[in-house]
Chain A
């Protein structure tokens, strides 16, 4: 018996990325734009989506909800009305049964949920990832663009603590901006820290509570969706 070193040179996430490519293919065939929306737990992803749905007409949105357990978020999205009184299709992925309670969505989980969404009837799909600032940034799911919600209660230092997440995104929604008068949070310091980690990243200041910035987020989504319609 002797030992031999065998070259492998294979990315640990290659298997995930292969499935993400398959998802990408399905999204392209359906001609939809897919946004992977990430944040820490409780930053306000679902609240912002509810607020956006209330202002969204002319873009056919679908939502894929990822949570370890529970269907509360999907129920909230299903209960939200568009300005013309419509509802958006929503599907729920729970990472607990069958997925080992994963702290993130991976490409395979998203793939398993696609049949429950009418992709052909959508322009835009928002995948609301499991609330977590670490793991979701590692796993591509076939999205066009990644965005995150950061709430001002989380502290200015977070870009330095979770650089992978803050660097992975093209848009940072700075949420709960209505709370600024009650906090010691230094918005300028946060924006400087963010710019150090992801120079030039786009930001929108939002409050799901007061509605501030929701129109800007809606427009950002609509622009993304139209890009795929035009293409």
Chain B
């Protein structure tokens, strides 16, 4: 359900950067550790973007795998699912290196090919 408010936040960000230009695509990076359902995001984004310059824009999702680092032993690994523990030393002093991302990476906008002086 929070995908609705997240979609609104994505739309607000895109609209701010679009500056009135038509948006054809929104590039979004979502980390593996976020609890976001891509299908729901797409559904709600279509809903909230109606009658805005983002109407009909496609959502280009980049899913970022979770990477953890063990602070004591320095090892890094990709995490599919818990435990949040070092596979080498079983330590729990671990840091999330990647996987918490949730950002609008880019927007694709339509622009006049050439603006001739009138």
Contacts and interface: CB of A to CB of B under 8 A. Distances in A.
B84 A100 contact: no
A2 B113 contact: yes
A138 interface: yes
Interface stretch (A21-29, A86-94, A160-168, A182-190): A160-168
A134 B35 contact: yes
B34 interface: yes
A155 to B, nearest CB: 16
B89 interface: no
Interface residues of A, number: 39
Interface residues of B, number: 36
B108 to A, nearest CB: 5
Contact of A12 (B17, B35, B83, B103): B103
Given A162-B35, A163-B82, A106 B5 contact: yes
A159 B2 contact: no
A231 interface: no
Interface of A is mostly: mixed
B75 to A, nearest CB: 16
A23 B1 CA distance: 25
A198 B96 CA distance: 12
Contact of B84 (A4, A9, A199): A199
B67 interface: no
Contact of A13 (B9, B35, B82): B9
Contacts of B12: 15
A52 interface: no
Contact of B82 (A12, A135, A160): A160
Given A10-B103, A198-B84, A137 B35 contact: yes
Contacts of A135: 1-2
A134 B37 CA distance: 11
Interface string B96-118: 00000011111111111100000
27 contacts: A1-B113, A2-B111, A2-B113, A5-B106, A6-B106, A6-B107, A8-B107, A9-B104, A9-B105, A11-B103, A12-B10, A14-B13, A100-B5, A102-B5, A103-B2, A104-B2, A134-B1, A134-B2, A135-B2, A138-B35, A159-B82, A162-B35, A164-B35, A195-B83, A196-B84, A198-B84, A199-B83
